[in-house]
A and B are shown apart, each in its own frame.
Chain A
């Protein structure tokens, strides 16, 4: 579990520190543009060091997806420079995290040398390992450096190349020329968490092979009490989760409402990241306020069972109050509320422990 984080020169953060106040489940609040999503992105960069595809994914989550054409410099501005504070890519992004007492450091920079010694793959930087084809690369590239607690360093890079038809292709490279093992398992669930239930089907199959996922079914009944069973089926060539709600036919879960999709995705993401990290943007989306407390209780239970650390953002006071209610039933109270607030042009993290949050809720003091 991460206990501390520090971020420098990333997105809206010139610098940001959270010292020794992280817990198993962390809820991030703050005004619009305070940096809640950027904080999740920074953690995502840290846990996924070595997977340069994350940079493209983050661009997608920010609505920067597309079939890129045109000037190479425009795409690098879009995908790369936007990672840097004030778009200033001449400095290095540094994200540090203390995990189980050991420090992991991720550094991101744009290297402007003309030739590198990196080996380059033609494919995507998927999870897993395998040798990469060795090719020299030219031009500048985005470099990611992961310094592990044991002192070893893994470097990886993203190159953007223009094809003859004008299409821009993202290519990845690493040194040593082996696809690096990712430091932590993890998932990033964007604002619409019910999207991508195909991924949920894969995760469910993996979970099913390891244990009977009956707890998941029980939990999903918080949202859909009619649910009798959940199965993975292939529809039109696409694996998807389907549920039996007693109408004689299995129904894709995605048709049973945003709440069910959100809870399914959230719990499967936690189960699929043992000893890892799950990041959830706008966690309250899709949930009626009356079920929020039970949703949090199920997240608490799943996070403990799989030893998964959760970071989520919210704008909802009801969501915060429900989390406090759920976690205070747990003797450990493995929960912290953190608010990002700009003070004198710097972003600060203000953390509420159990007593302080209880007092704020009791006296109707604002916390967001």
Chain B
């Protein structure tokens, strides 16, 4: 794939993993941001604005209209050109990869052409998944690593999670779940659907697996619960981010309030 264009959106959200990318894209859509792009490696699911428009654009460029692997490869080749024709986005959501890659990825974003004139806000979203030592919680460790990555990029980090500091760029760190000492995006989603009639079945299923399957890896319980919950929906077999597109994660639940507030503070809207 040719190198992509430089930074195009004033709001940059750096998240951990493709599921988080799509989750936050639809979360921002729910909040009223209509022009949100997912950047980086994208699988074809019709999520991104760019890919959603791909068939018409490919047709317009004189290529075949039926979308198959060849078409997508052709689309990749002309993607830069297409990107150049689109209006700038409100926000771009990028996957920074693993925890150890956050610093270098943030540096690459902040160094990208036009980044320093385009970017108004950078939000970093991390799971409170791993604790480096016994003396600090997973949330504290996650915040510290994001803080260090921001400092190393010669930007001013906030002093605590959910706080947004600075001007052009405003910078904030969101550790998931907000206010908890450990957890991940899956916890937020499951909390939001706790009252759903399917959830007792999900819990029962997980307990059954735990009892019945030898050496079952309990640390994947939350991810398994998400999969079990999604299996109960009208269109099963989706990933967490894809479920977000179909509104399966109960956007109106108050568990999202601190996240909404964070996005509002970050975007200035």
Chain A residues in the interface with B (C-beta under 8 A):
31, 317, 339, 341, 343-344, 348, 350-353, 355-360, 362-368
Contact = CB atoms under 8 A, between A and B. Distances in A.
18 contacts: A317-B3, A339-B113, A341-B114, A341-B116, A348-B116, A350-B116, A351-B111, A352-B108, A355-B107, A356-B104, A356-B111, A359-B101, A364-B4, A365-B4, A365-B112, A366-B113, A367-B112, A367-B113
Interface of B: 1-6, 39-40, 94, 97, 101, 103-105, 107-109, 111-114, 116-117
A346 to B, nearest CB: 11
B165 to A, nearest CB: 21
Contacts of B116: 341, 343, 348, 350
A365 B117 contact: no
Contact of B112 (A344, A353, A358, A366): A366
A216 to B, nearest CB: 33
Task: Give the one of B97, B104, B111 with max A CB within 10 A.
Answer: B111
A46 B121 CA distance: 40
Contacts of A344: 117
Chain A to chain B: the 9 pairs with minimum beta-carbon distance, closest first: A359-B104, A356-B107, A360-B108, A355-B104, A359-B108, A366-B6, A359-B105, A364-B4, A365-B108
B63 to A, nearest CB: 21
Task: Give the one of B2, B101, B108 with max A CB within 10 A.
Answer: B108
Given A339-B111, A367-B111, 7 more contacts: A31-B113, A317-B2, A362-B97, A364-B2, A365-B109, A365-B112, A367-B113
A365 B109 CA distance: 7
Given A355-B103, A355-B107, A359-B108, A364 B40 contact: yes
Given A356-B107, A360-B111, A360-B112, A367 B101 contact: no
A353 B97 CA distance: 19
Contacts of B3: 317, 364-368
From DSSP, what is the main secondary structure of chain A's interface residues? Answer: mixed
B1 A364 contact: yes
B105 A343 contact: no
Task: Give the one of A352, A355, A366 with max B CB within 10 A.
Answer: A366
Given A359-B101, A363-B40, A366-B6, A350 B111 contact: yes
Given A317-B3, A363-B40, A363-B94, A368 B113 contact: yes
Nearest to B103: A355
A363 B105 contact: yes
B41 to A, nearest CB: 8
Contacts, number: 67
Nearest to B117: A343
B113 A358 contact: no
A367 B7 CA distance: 10
A317 B109 CA distance: 17
Nearest to A351: B111
A356 B4 contact: no
Contact of A341 (B40, B105, B108, B113): B113
Given A339-B111, A352-B111, A360-B112, A366 B4 contact: yes
A55 B84 CA distance: 40
A339 B113 CA distance: 8
Given A350-B111, A356-B104, A359-B107, A366 B5 contact: yes
Contacts of A353: 107
Contacts of A356: 104, 107-108, 111
A358 B104 contact: yes
A316 to B, nearest CB: 11
A112 to B, nearest CB: 40
A367 B112 CA distance: 5
A337 to B, nearest CB: 9
A100 B116 CA distance: 32
Contacts of B94: 363
A348 B110 CA distance: 13
A355 B6 CA distance: 18
Contacts of A352: 107-108, 111
A280 to B, nearest CB: 22
Contacts of A358: 104
B150 to A, nearest CB: 14
A351 B154 CA distance: 12
Given A317-B3, A355-B103, A363 B117 contact: no
Contacts of B101: 359
Contacts of B1: 364
A341 B13 CA distance: 23
Task: Give the one of A31, A351, A363 with max B CB within 10 A.
Answer: A363
Nearest to B153: A356
A360 B111 CA distance: 9
Contacts of B40: 363-364
Nearest to B101: A359
Contacts of B108: 352, 356-357, 359-360, 363, 365, 367
Contacts of B117: 343-344
Contacts of B4: 364-366
A147 B155 CA distance: 37
A317 to B, nearest CB: 5
Contacts of A359: 101, 104-105, 107-108
